[in-house]
Amino acid sequence: MASGFFALLDDIGALMDDVVVMSKVTTKKTAGILGDDLAVNAEKASGFMSSRELPVLWAITKGSFLNKLIILPIAFLLSAFLPPAVTVILVVGGIYLAFEGAEKIYGYIVPHKPAVDNQVSAQMSKEAVLDIEKKKVKSAILTDFILSVEIVIIALGTVVDQELLFQILVVSIVAIIATVGVYGIVALLVRMDDFGLWLISKNAEKKGLLYTTGNLLVRALPWVIKSLSVIGTIALLLVAGGIFVHNIAFLHHVLESWPSVLRDFVIGLGAGFITLLLFKGIKLLVKAIKK
């Protein structure tokens, strides 16, 4: 009896070791999406008055957890009863990632009018501020839902050939890491300039290490956000290209002699611009039909 109990504990220990190892591997595979998720949410969580940044971020974080609670059961049901659907969703997600990456590059190269964004100012009434916050939170949660689908499906694609329990444990861990890790870092980023100002205020003489560090933090925040956006764009195309190469048979041997990173980027970029051209063409066609 006792030996059976200890054997069970040994099996559970072995299972958890495997889960931890696969969770690390899977988290690496979703790192590109996490980078983009981080850049997007850092941008969406900024622009509020200092006292409202963390409450808004907490509202988005709760929405992210709810997104995962909706997505995970559906993903596991598909894996259990319709495994080919996981690959299909993975490829569709790859097309979206490639499109998003190409669109960001297109927006940077081709001059265009920036979209008008609601900005919060101290002169606004409390009701107006709350209304803008609600709109931004809804937008951020919707973006998080799309990115969460991609994270979960990529994670699931890594362990799709394993038993269902193993899939549930690994993908759930990755989903939790994605939410806690991304929004934890975003919280630090959006408060970075406030911490810098606090350091500056502690030095009335406006010199010394604290003052210099504070100035550096305040000046660095916009560049950090921009850098994350660039890194996220490159990561989107790399992840998309990797998805296509590993899940579409005829792409296995395309640019086979190239380094895998460069091949994935080129394939992701090519697919992204093809999708972008199709999207622009459909928009023009719809506009012409309406006229």
pLDDT digits (tens, 9 = 90+) for 101-119: 898 899 888 866 555 445 5
| 221, 193 Cβ separation under 8 angstroms | yes
pTM of full prediction above 0.75: no
For 118, the domain range is: 2-290
Q: Residue 197's pLDDT is what?
A: 78
Q: Residue 271's pLDDT is what?
A: 93
Rounded Cα distance between 226 and 179, Å, is 21
Q: Residue 147's pLDDT is what?
A: 77
Q: Residue 266's pLDDT is what?
A: 92
Of the candidates 176, 159, 151, the residue with the CA atom closest to the CA atom of residue 25: 159
Structural domains of the chain, count = 1
Q: Residue 123's pLDDT is what?
A: 58
> Which of the residues in the chain have pLDDT under 70?
1-51, 111-126, 129, 204-205
Q: What's the N-to-C CA distance of the chain in angstroms?
A: 80
| 190, 4 Cβ separation under 8 angstroms | no
| 95, 240 Cβ separation under 8 angstroms | yes
